[in-house]
Amino acid sequence: MQANGSGQLADMGQLQMTTAKTNAGNFFEDFRFGQIITHATPRTVNEGDVALYTALYGSRFAVQSSDAFAKALGYPRAPLDDLLTFHVVFGKTTPDISLNAIANLGYADCRFIKPVYPGDTLSATSEVIGLKENSNGETGTVYVRSTGRNQNGEVVLEYCRWVMVRKRDKSSPAPEAVVPKLPDRVDPSELASAVPALDIGKYDLALAGSPHRWSDYEAGEKIDHIDGMTLEEAEHQTATRLYQNTAKVHFNQHTESKGRFGKRIVYGGVVISLVRALSYNGLGNAFHLAAINGGRHVAPTFAGDTIYAWSEVLEKAEIPGRKDVGALRVRLVGVKNMDCSALPLKTEKGDYAEGVVLDLDTWLVLPR
Residue 273 CB neighbours (<10 A): 23
- What pLDDT is stored for residue 11 in this prediction? 53
Residue 3 lies in a domain: no
Residue 63 three-state SS: helix
CA dist 303 and 26 (Å) reads 28
**Rounded Cα distance, 259 and 148, in Å:** 32
Per-residue pLDDT reduced to its tens digit, 135-180: 999 999 999 999 999 999 999 999 999 999 999 999 999 999 999 9
SS3 190: helix
Average of per-residue pLDDT across 34-41: 97
pLDDT for the residue numbered 1:
47
- Of 16, 97, 107, nearest to 298 (Cα)? 107
Rounded mean pLDDT of 357-362? 97
Whether 7 is in a domain gets the answer: no
Q: Is residue 1 part of a domain?
A: no
* DSSP secondary structure letter of residue 76: S
The proportion of the chain whose per-residue pLDDT surpasses 70, expressed as a percent, equals 96
pLDDT range class, residue 9, cuts 50, 70, 90: very low
Residue 64 covered by a domain: yes
pLDDT for residue 13 is more than 70: no
- The mean pLDDT value of the chain amounts to 92
pLDDT in tens, 206-232: 999 999 999 999 999 999 999 999 999
Q: At 326, is the secondary structure helix, strand, or coil? A: strand
Give me the number of domains the chain comprises.
1
CATH number at 356 reads 3.10.129.10
CA dist 177 and 217 (Å) reads 43
Max Cα-Cα span within the chain: 80
| Residue 286 contacts residue 156 (beta carbons within 8 Å) | no
**Residue 265 in domain:** yes
d(CA 177, CA 131): 6
In a domain, 86, yes or no: yes
Has residue 11 been placed in a domain?
Answer: no
Beta strands in the chain (DSSP E): 36-44, 101-112, 121-133, 139-149, 155-166, 222-224, 229-230, 288-297, 306-318, 325-336, 356-367
Residue 2 lies in a domain: no
Contacts of 307 (CB under 8 A, 6+ apart): 228, 229, 230, 231, 271, 274, 275, 278, 301, 334, 335, 336, 357
Closest Cα partner for 46 from 132, 128, 118?
118
Which residue range(s) make up the domain with 131?
25-367
Residues 53-68, mean pLDDT to the nearest whole number: 97
In the DSSP assignment, the letter for residue 349 is T
Cα separations (Å) of 351 from 36, 87, 215, 308, 354?
Answer: 36, 29, 33, 19, 9
Q: What pLDDT, on the 0 to 100 scale, is given for residue 15?
A: 65
